[in-house]
């Protein structure tokens, strides 16, 4: 056990990987919409100059709905557990994507997006689970970069098959041309494929994801038991030699490895603490409020950029002349690309973001600090937005695409480091672990307002601008917003994290016990069902020897020396 301590904290790789699989379907499905969204809106009879406005509103209604329910989902996860709420969100989104893909009118599409947003609060809840899995600050850059990395990977596949499989009867007439379903619903196929991925994510979470909410962690989980039963033949035999595994039919085996009386009494105290109502004063502390403002600005302009960009790429090419161009501000036109080519561009963008996230982000955070990296990113954003529309002025095709892809890659770099940075800063500004679920629900609400206002406003400004010959209007609008967003980060003071203040009135001993409750299994060989085998066996042997020598002290020993996962004088190993 001593050597285990000296190894230092480790990431709970297995559970983070399972959480990543559960998360993967959402970015894949959401980004698959980008390449064909302009064509889908146009298929509803919307005029070309109005496509940007309605595309923005379609994205905005999703974010508005998500904002309205984010806090409720966060509170529900604090009460009922993280896992069931995540599974509900996955199932709801899967159903809504089928409806979205078969939309035949603009009102139907908007309604589907509204229900989709209101039925999913997973963004904040997954962030909370990562914070509860990894309370150690030294591991947070890697842990919090995982979900943006998953988003990047989803962004690689999503636009690719979204653009490739949209309108299959038109793109592949020899295969799908005689299928009436795909003629009636030309955008159904990419969403059907996305639903298959949603089903895999749902089943992975149901069978293998462990609950992280303290008050629900020791509750019986039928999904985990089923997953264990299904995977038992693949486990190495030595894992079942020392400890009995849970079974559907064996009530003794389904009981905890340590009897309830051996559990630390602090577990019960923590459960009651988690049930205390969270006040607005706890949520909106000064530093937390500043971080929420930063997060809102970031979501507003970065998501608006991603929503308007496909419309810009799909907009017809216009050759500059003396009638439609008066530099430096008046000019118009786009790239005139179809959905499959837009999908290819987004695939390159997603691959680049994934490489940046995986290889560069942790090293940059270690060298320059999370706050320093975030401040740098906020300064770069407005420069990118101001330069984007000028790519259409380059007449040479190769040079135009090089210019545009360079800007996109720089934008990908700053956005892929900015989001995990602001997530880490927000988490470390929390005053207590017990408010994380609600805090991330509030953060989802604020960011949702930004993600609603940004695309809606940018889409409207884009339509207004192209009607008057000013394609720069939307991009400069976002650039001005990004400029305002550079101010709040300079008032941020990096916090010590919620683990340092999780129980303001508790003693140092109970603090140590509470932090031990957040530890996770580092690998399959050292744990079974969340309990450390060596620690449990040592504890049981200690109790047996003690009961032989000092039977009168057995009860006292049991109630003061037990803890979740490990036992070593009440502290985590």
Tens-digit pLDDT profile for residues 437-454: 677 778 777 877 888 788
pLDDT above 50 for 271 = no
Q: Please tell me which residue, 269 or 407, carries the higher pLDDT value.
A: 407
For residue 500, give the DSSP letter: G
Calpha distance 531→12 (Å, rounded): 13
Q: pLDDT-based confidence at 148, cuts 50/70/90?
A: low
The pLDDT of residue 156 is 64
Name 330's bridge partners: 326
Q: Please tell me which residue, 277 or 250, carries the higher pLDDT value.
A: 277
Calpha distance 547→557 (Å, rounded): 10
Q: pLDDT-based confidence at 353, cuts 50/70/90?
A: confident
The pLDDT of residue 563 is 32
The token pair that represents 103 in the structure block: 């939309």
Neighbours of 12 (CB within 10 A): 24
Q: pLDDT-based confidence at 375, cuts 50/70/90?
A: very high
The pLDDT of residue 349 is 77
Q: What is the pTM of this model?
A: 0.64
The pLDDT of residue 48 is 79
Beta strands in 458-562 (DSSP E): 527-528, 531-532
pLDDT above 60 for 500 = no
Tens digits of residue pLDDT in 173-219: 888 888 899 989 999 998 898 888 889 889 988 999 889 888 888 88
Q: Give the mean pLDDT of 56-69.
A: 82
Share of the chain above pLDDT 90, in %: 17
Is the distance from CB of 288 to CB of 423 less than 8 angstroms?
A: no
Q: Give the mean pLDDT of 361-382.
A: 88
pLDDT above 60 for 513 = no
Is the distance from CB of 78 to CB of 213 less than 8 angstroms?
A: yes
**CA angle at 400 for the pair 395 and 404, rounded to the nearest 5°:** 145
Q: pLDDT-based confidence at 332, cuts 50/70/90?
A: confident
Calpha distance 458→447 (Å, rounded): 16
Q: Length of the chain in residues, anyone?
A: 573
Is the distance from CB of 217 to CB of 433 less than 8 angstroms?
A: no
pLDDT above 80 for 104 = yes
Q: Give the mean pLDDT of 449-464.
A: 86
Tens digits of residue pLDDT in 26-45: 777 777 888 888 889 988 98
The pLDDT of residue 377 is 93
pLDDT above 70 for 520 = no
pLDDT above 70 for 371 = yes
The pLDDT of residue 276 is 58
Q: Give the mean pLDDT of 477-499.
A: 87
The pLDDT of residue 39 is 87
Q: pLDDT-based confidence at 111, cuts 50/70/90?
A: very high
pLDDT above 60 for 551 = no
The pLDDT of residue 125 is 86
Share of the chain above pLDDT 70, in %: 74
pLDDT above 60 for 565 = no
Q: pLDDT-based confidence at 10, cuts 50/70/90?
A: confident
Q: pLDDT-based confidence at 290, cuts 50/70/90?
A: very high
**CA angle at 294 for the pair 288 and 299, rounded to the nearest 5°:** 125
Name 527's bridge partners: 532
Q: Give the mean pLDDT of 543-559.
A: 42
Q: pLDDT-based confidence at 559, cuts 50/70/90?
A: very low
Q: pLDDT-based confidence at 251, cuts 50/70/90?
A: very low
Q: pLDDT-based confidence at 257, cuts 50/70/90?
A: very low
The token pair that represents 327 in the structure block: 């530099």
pLDDT above 60 for 226 = yes
């Amino acid at each position: 056990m001593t050597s285990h301590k000296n190894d230092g904290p480790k990431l709970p790789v297995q559970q983070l990987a399972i959480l990543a699989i559960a998360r993967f379907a959402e970015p894949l499905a959401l980004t698959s919409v980008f390449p064909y969204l302009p064509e889908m809106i146009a298929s509803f009879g919307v005029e070309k100059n109005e496509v940007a406005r309605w595309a923005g509103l379609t994205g905005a209604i999703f974010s508005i709905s998500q904002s309205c329910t984010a806090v409720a989902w966060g509170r529900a996860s604090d009460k009922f557990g993280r896992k069931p709420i995540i599974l509900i969100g996955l199932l709801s989104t899967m159903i809504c994507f089928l409806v979205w893909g078969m939309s035949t009118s603009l009102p139907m599409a908007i309604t589907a997006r509204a229900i989709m947003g209101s039925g999913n609060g997973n963004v904040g809840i997954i962030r909370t689970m990562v914070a509860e899995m990894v309370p150690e600050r030294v591991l947070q850059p890697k842990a919090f970069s995982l979900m943006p990395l998953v988003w990047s990977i989803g962004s690689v596949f999503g636009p690719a098959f979204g653009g490739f499989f949209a309108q299959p009867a038109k793109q592949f007439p020899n295969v799908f041309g005689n299928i009436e379903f795909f003629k009636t619903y030309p955008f159904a196929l990419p969403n059907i494929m996305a639903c298959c991925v949603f089903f895999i994510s749902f089943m992975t979470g149901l069978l293998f994801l462990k609950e992280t909410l303290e008050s629900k962690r020791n509750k019986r989980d039928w999904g985990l038991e089923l997953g264990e039963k299904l995977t038992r033949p693949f486990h190495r035999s030595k894992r079942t030699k020392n400890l009995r595994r849970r079974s559907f039919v064996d009530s003794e085996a389904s009981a905890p490895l340590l009897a309830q009386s051996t559990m630390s009494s602090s577990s019960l105290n923590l459960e009651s603490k988690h049930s205390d109502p969270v006040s607005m004063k706890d949520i909106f502390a000064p530093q937390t409020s500043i971080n929420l403002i930063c997060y809102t600005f970031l979501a507003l302009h970065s998501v608006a950029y991603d929503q308007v960009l496909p419309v810009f790429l799909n907009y017809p090419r216009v050759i500059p002349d003396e009638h439609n161009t008066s530099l430096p501000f008046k000019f118009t036109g786009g790239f005139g690309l179809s959905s499959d080519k837009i999908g290819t561009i987004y695939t390159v963008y997603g691959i680049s973001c994934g490489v940046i996230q995986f290889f560069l982000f942790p090293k940059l955070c270690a060298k320059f600090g999370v706050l320093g990296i975030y401040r740098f990113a906020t300064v770069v954003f407005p420069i990118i937005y101001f330069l984007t529309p000028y790519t259409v002025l380059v007449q040479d095709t190769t040079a135009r695409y090089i210019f545009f892809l360079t800007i996109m890659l720089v934008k990908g770099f700053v956005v892929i480091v900015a989001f995990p940075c602001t997530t880490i800063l927000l988490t470390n500004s929390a005053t207590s672990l017990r408010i994380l679920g609600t805090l991330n629900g509030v953060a989802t609400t604020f960011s949702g307002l930004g993600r609603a206002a940004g695309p809606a406003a940018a889409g409207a400004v884009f339509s207004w601008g192209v009607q008057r010959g000013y394609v720069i209007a939307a991009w400069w609008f976002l650039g001005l917003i990004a400029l305002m967003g550079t101010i709040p980060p300079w008032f941020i003071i990096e916090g010590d994290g919620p683990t340092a203040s999780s129980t303001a009135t508790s003693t140092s001993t109970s603090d140590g016990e509470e932090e031990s409750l957040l530890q996770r299994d580092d690998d399959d060989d050292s744990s079974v069902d969340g309990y450390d085998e060596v620690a449990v066996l040592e504890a049981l042997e200690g109790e047996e020897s003690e009961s032989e020598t000092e039977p009168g002290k057995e009860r006292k020993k049991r109630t003061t020396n037990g803890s979740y996962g490990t036992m070593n004088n009440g502290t985590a190993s």
